[in-house]
Amino acid sequence: MGRLLDERDEDGSPYREVDEEGAPQVTVEVVPDAEGGWDVRLRVRNFRFSPDGTGRRAEPGRGLAHLEVNGRRVAVLRTPEYHLAPGAFPRGTHQVTARLYADDGSVWAVDGEPVESTADITVSGQEPTPESSVEPIPEGPGSPEGPGEA
């Protein structure tokens, strides 16, 4: 099931080192939809998403994904799909990153590097809407660090 390393992510979650053979893998794919938003799909191998309410215990190849846009967490995923609303980004290139976590909050890692994938999206010809749907997720109850979550 791996061992905890001294390395930590930006939020202080420790890395959980596992052997490369059989390690969780993720690839993030982002495609535009017909309304100007973006559909995010995660392709995973050796990994299963844990349902909501799962205990805070690391199990081999199980957990959830954190989705970030330009380094800001926008969602905690328990399924491989997510939708980014139209108008959420200003013009330019943006990075969408998915990182895999165990249910205990540790980051799955191979060779000291987090198991993650990043895709670039390029937005042209639109301005962000005033009520942007891509905001950092809140801390506290109902958040990944709060009670009742993985």
Q: Which CATH number fits the domain that encloses residue 13?
A: 2.60.40.10
Residue 74 is assigned to a structural domain of this protein: yes
Work out how many domains the chain is built from and give that number.
1
The pTM assigned to this predicted structure is 0.83
Residue 112 is assigned to a structural domain of this protein: yes
Residue 133 is assigned to a structural domain of this protein: no
Higher pLDDT, 45 or 146: 45
Q: What is the pLDDT of residues 90-100, one digit of tens each?
A: 899 999 999 99
Residue 28 is assigned to a structural domain of this protein: yes
Model confidence at 5: pLDDT above 80: yes
What is the percent of the chain with per-residue pLDDT over 70, rounded to a whole number?
A: 83
Residue 149 is assigned to a structural domain of this protein: no
User: By residue range, what is the domain housing residue 115?
Assistant: 3-123
Residue written as tokens 């890395």? 15
Model confidence at 149: pLDDT above 90: no
Residue spans of beta strands (DSSP E) within 33-115: 38-45, 48-49, 62-69, 72-77, 81-84, 92-101, 107-110, 113-114
